[in-house]
Structure 1
Amino acid sequence: MDQLWANRAASSEAAVAQRHLRRLWAIPGTQLGVVAWPSARRERLFGTWHYWWQAHLLDCLIDAQLRDPQPQRHTEIKRQVRSHRLRNFRWTNGYYDDMAWLALALERAAQLVGIERPRALAKLTDQLVNAWVPEDGGGIPWRTQDQFFNAPANGPAGILLA
Structure 2
Amino acid sequence: MDAIASAQERAAVAERAVIAAYVHRYGPVAWAHAATARDGAHTWHYWWHAHLVHVLCEAQHHRPSPARRRLVDDLLRGVTLRTAGSWTTPFYDDIAWMGLALAEARPSGRARVRIARILERAVDPNVGALPWRTGSVLFNAPANGPAAMVLAPSRHRGRAAQLSAWIAATLDDPATGLVRDGIEHGVVRSEVWTYNQGVAVGAALALGDTDRAAAVVRAVERWCAADDGLFPAVGGGDGGLFAGILARYLAAAARILTGPDAARAGRLVHRNAEALWAGSRGGRFPADPRRSVRAEGEDLDLSVQLGAWITLEADVTAASALTS
TM-score interval (norm. to shorter): 0.7 to 0.9
Map of 2:33 onto structure 1: 34
CA contact under 8 A between 1:94 and 1:143: conserved in structure 2? yes
Report the alpha carbon displacement of residue 42 of structure 1 after superposing the two structures with TM.
Answer: 4.6
CA contact under 8 A between 1:20 and 1:37: conserved in structure 2? no
Equivalent residue in structure 2 for 1:121, among 79, 104, 112: 112
- TM-score under structure 1 length normalisation: 0.84
Deviation string for 1:49-68 (max 9, x for gaps)? 31100000001110111111
**Are residues 1:80 and 2:79 paired?**
no
Report the alpha carbon displacement of residue 100 of structure 1 after superposing the two structures with TM.
Answer: 0.4
Map of 1:158 onto structure 2: 148
Map of 2:101 onto structure 1: 105
Report the alpha carbon displacement of residue 88 of structure 1 after superposing the two structures with TM.
Answer: 2.3
CA RMSD of aligned residues (A): 2.0
Report the alpha carbon displacement of residue 85 of structure 1 after superposing the two structures with TM.
Answer: 1.7
Could you tell me how far apart the structure 2 residues matched to 1:49 and 1:129 are? 27
Aligned partner letter, 2:139: F
Taking only the aligned residue pairs, the percentage that are identical comes to: 39
Report the alpha carbon displacement of residue 41 of structure 1 after superposing the two structures with TM.
Answer: 8.0
Report the alpha carbon displacement of residue 151 of structure 1 after superposing the two structures with TM.
Answer: 0.4
Map of 2:62 onto structure 1: 67
**Are residues 1:4 and 2:6 paired?**
yes
In structure 2, stretches of 5+ residues that fail to align are 153-324
CA contact under 8 A between 2:22 and 2:33: conserved in structure 1? yes
Runs of 4+ in 1 over 3 A off after TM superposition: none
Deviation string for 1:83-140 (max 9, x for gaps)? 11211222111000000010111011135xxxx5x221122111101101112x2100
Report the alpha carbon displacement of residue 37 of structure 1 after superposing the two structures with TM.
Answer: 6.9
Bigger fraction of residues in strand: 2
Could you tell me how far apart the structure 1 residues matched to 2:40 and 2:148 are? 37
- TM-score under structure 2 length normalisation: 0.44
CA contact under 8 A between 2:32 and 2:44: conserved in structure 1? no
Tell which structure's C-alpha radius of gyration is larger: 2
CA contact under 8 A between 1:19 and 1:37: conserved in structure 2? no
Aligned partner letter, 1:5: A
